[in-house]
Amino acid sequence: MRDKQLVGEIKCIHLPKEAEALGQDFFQLADQSYLTGSPWKPALFIEELQNQKAYYFAFYQKEVLLGFAGCHKVIDEVEVLSVAVAPEVKGVKIGEQLMLALIYEARNWQCTQILLEVRASNEPAQKLYQKVGFTQIGLRKKYYHAPQEDGIIMSLQLIDEK
């Protein structure tokens, strides 16, 4: 199943009425997706979904949540907060489709750049981000905990394509 693209629907979620249920769904998916479990508790996902600056791109197949990418839009920049894909469907380009949807919307919002941090040990994520145009711009020493490790700062400059 690797290297094939799974077909589904991507929804851009902003200030949803069902924030509590979605927050629980996002927590469960993140908890399964990350090797160290979800860094956020369900309450934080719920709070984020109610944040005016937060946008989540959710990948669904037959109404089953299989991945999400969350970000904050602040003036003319986007900061990616979290990306998670269900373990049983990793390798079928859900993460790539989510990031491309996020980049597309950031351009529509007329943002100048997208920033993110990724664990130094998370090579698959780094490769994905590089594939969609991100470059490393810095390093945050001991940024992550449990386990402690550096965070690589990556940026995608969005150029006016007029």
Residue 2 lies in a domain: no
Q: Which residue has the tokens 């993140």?
A: 30
Residue 41 lies in a domain: yes
What is the residue range of 151's domain? 9-157
Tens digits of residue pLDDT in 5-40? 888 999 999 999 999 999 999 999 999 999 888 989
Tens digits of residue pLDDT in 74-88? 999 999 999 999 999
Mean of all residue pLDDT scores within the chain: 94
Mean pLDDT confidence for 87-111: 96
What does the pLDDT read at residue 1? 46
> What is the count of structural domains for the chain?
1
Residues assigned a catalytic role = 117, 129
How far CA 67 is from CA of 127, 143, 148, 152, in Å, comes to 18, 24, 25, 22
Residue 56 lies in a domain: yes
The predicted model scores a pTM of 0.92
Residue 76 lies in a domain: yes
User: Are residues 125 and 38 in contact, defined by beta-carbon separation less than 8 angstroms?
Assistant: no
CATH of the domain at 35: 3.40.630.30
Residue 122 lies in a domain: yes
Rounded to the nearest 10°, the torsion over CA 141, 90, 81, 122 is 10
Mean pLDDT confidence for 84-98: 95
16 backbone dihedrals φ, ψ, rounded to 5°: -75, 150
What does the pLDDT read at residue 3? 58
Nearest to 100 by CA among 74, 75, 67: 67
